[in-house]
Amino acid sequence: MKKIFFFSFLCAIAFSACDGTDNTDPVEDVFKGVKFEQTGILSLSMNHKFNEEALELGKNYVTAQSDTVKFDKLRYYLTNISLQDVSGKWFNLGNYHLLDLDVPTKHKITLNNVPAGNYVKMSFLIGVDSVANFSGAQTGELDPSYGMYWTWATGYIFFRLNGRYNGNNPLSFDLGGNNNLPKIEFDLSTFKIKGNNLTVNTEFNLASIFHSPHDYKLTRENDDMHSATYPGAPLLKDNIKMGCFNITTIK
């Protein structure tokens, strides 16, 4: 009897192997989002564009509102990269990075010691959180010597864009103030990526700052902005938050 049972057991295993049935635990392999199986490294690589063109300083572009623009400077803070796990808990990785279009080495952020976990959302701020904005050590890339701090008003410039439009008209945006702090959030649940050294390739489409969701025509709205109270500031905040950033791939 024992021999018959053992023979039947072997046949069942052979049949399962032949018909392609996977006997591994499905719970282990079924996940959504970005999964770090142990403490790992997360990089965020930024690709700057104007619609379908690579964004270059000194080059002419046309906005959705038919303004011709060219840019001399683009700088912005990208801080507080955070990950939400499947239980709903957020992990703030606590970074403060200044990105500069004119400095290619400042197009990528690398963070070590990411906790192991399965993450379904990611967020970051374009600017500086309220605590660091008004207190704390002004060191590293928060050093005021970078020129991204309003000494006369107290607080950081979150986003700076300088250039010209419609000929030689000056364009100067300095966006700051706690009420004008864009928070960008991505759904990672459409991805299925495992690893402990992952790069999130992210696209920043500057064209969207002029039309999504608010139409921003430079001959009608502020073209010169240097405080938190300008009427155009909330429009730019919304456009940065809702229209400019997109994840292309995670590898």
pLDDT at 6: 39
* pLDDT(178) > 60: yes
Closest CA to 239 of 182, 173, 172: 182
What average pLDDT does the segment 48-57 reach? 98
Residue 16 located in a structural domain? no
Residue 21 located in a structural domain? no
Out of 38-42, 76-80, 134-138, 204-208, pick the least confident: 134-138
Rounded to whole angstroms, the Cα distance separating 80 from 202 reads: 16
Residue 176 located in a structural domain? yes
Residue 240 located in a structural domain? yes
Q: Reduced to 3 states, what is the DSSP secondary structure of residue 209?
A: helix
Asked if residue 120 lies in contact with residue 187, where contact means CB atoms within 8 angstroms, the answer is: yes
Distance of CA 43 to the CA centre of its chain: 11
Residue 13 located in a structural domain? no
Beta-bridge mates of residue 85 = 119
- Count how many residues are written for the chain: 251
Residue 239 located in a structural domain? yes
Structural tokens at position 36: 């770090």
Residue 133 located in a structural domain? yes
Asked if residue 97 lies in contact with residue 161, where contact means CB atoms within 8 angstroms, the answer is: no
Q: Reduced to 3 states, what is the DSSP secondary structure of residue 223?
A: coil
Which secondary-structure segment (H or E) carries 149?
none
| Average pLDDT for the chain | 90
Q: Are strands 33-36 and 117-126 parallel, antiparallel or unpaired?
A: antiparallel
* pLDDT(212) > 90: yes
Residue 2 located in a structural domain? no
pLDDT at 134: 84
* pLDDT(4) > 60: no
Closest CA to 160 of 222, 232, 74: 74
| pTM (whole model) above 0.75 | yes
Asked if residue 142 lies in contact with residue 96, where contact means CB atoms within 8 angstroms, the answer is: yes
CA-CA distances (angstroms) from residue 45 to 48, 199, 206? Answer: 10, 7, 16
* pLDDT(2) > 60: no
What residue numbers bound the domain in which 215 lies?
27-250
**What confidence tens digit (pLDDT) does each residue in 26-38 have?**
444 578 999 999 9
Count: domains in the chain: 1
Asked if residue 251 lies in contact with residue 199, where contact means CB atoms within 8 angstroms, the answer is: yes
Asked if residue 240 lies in contact with residue 182, where contact means CB atoms within 8 angstroms, the answer is: yes
pLDDT at 29: 55
CA-CA distances (angstroms) from residue 12 to 3, 6, 9, 20, 21? Answer: 14, 10, 5, 13, 11
